[in-house]
Amino acid sequence: MLNYIKVLSSKRTIWWLLFTSAFCLELTALYFQHGMGLNPCVMCIYERVALFGILFSGFIGILAPRFILMRLFALVLGLWGAIKGLLLSIKHLGYQMNPSPWEQCPVTVKFPHTLPLDQWFPAIFHPTGLCSEISWTFLSFTMVQWLVFIFSVYSIIFMIILLSQLLGGRVKNQRRLFH
């Protein structure tokens, strides 16, 4: 099974699927913000950045999926984005489910001075909402609960694909030893 996943990861189709899914989620976030008028909070912006990590991972994988170093770089970047997004969305969920005056999200984003995304692209990365506010639900789950699910799925997928890169060849060779 790991060999099959390793072979799939060396093809552009899987990376296009990853890129497209992250791109659609980014477009959805922008639609919520600009089309529906939902104000993103600081945690929403950080989660958006983590999703961009996954998007860039898919783009790198599309460029050179057969080159193992590029594929590993894309997988590590994607896994970082997925785990970072998961941790951020879990923290954000805590702000929503247990609002308290002493545990609140920051008012402004803190990007590095060399990468002030909120100044370069304010339409995408400028927060205007509150983290504890629940302004949208679908199937009785909040947007943040959906993000916890989405980032969990991405994390599992990236871990399995990364594991296939590290163990895929070994599994195949071990099977030959026993036959």
Between CA 100 and CA 95 the distance in angstroms is 8
**Number of Cα atoms under 13 Å in the Cβ half of residue 72:** 6
* Given 12, 24, 48, 71, the catalytic residue: 48
**Choice among 105, 170, 175, 176 that is catalytic:** 105
Match 């983290």 to its residue by tokens: 131
- Active-site residue, selected from the candidate residues 66, 71, 131, 170: 131
- Per the CB < 8 A criterion, the answer to whether 146 and 90 are in contact is no
24 is a catalytic site residue: no
Nearest to 161 by CA among 9, 15, 47: 9
Instruction: Please provide residue 41's backbone torsions phi and psi, each rounded to the nearest 5 degrees.
Output: -95, 180
Which of 12, 24, 41, 66 is catalytic? The answer is: 41
| Structure token pair of residue 83 | 């785990």
H-run or E-run covering 78:
helix 68-97
Query: How far are the Cα atoms of 61, 96, 167 from residue 3, in angstroms, in the given order?
Result: 18, 42, 8
Which positions are catalytic? 41, 44, 48, 105, 131
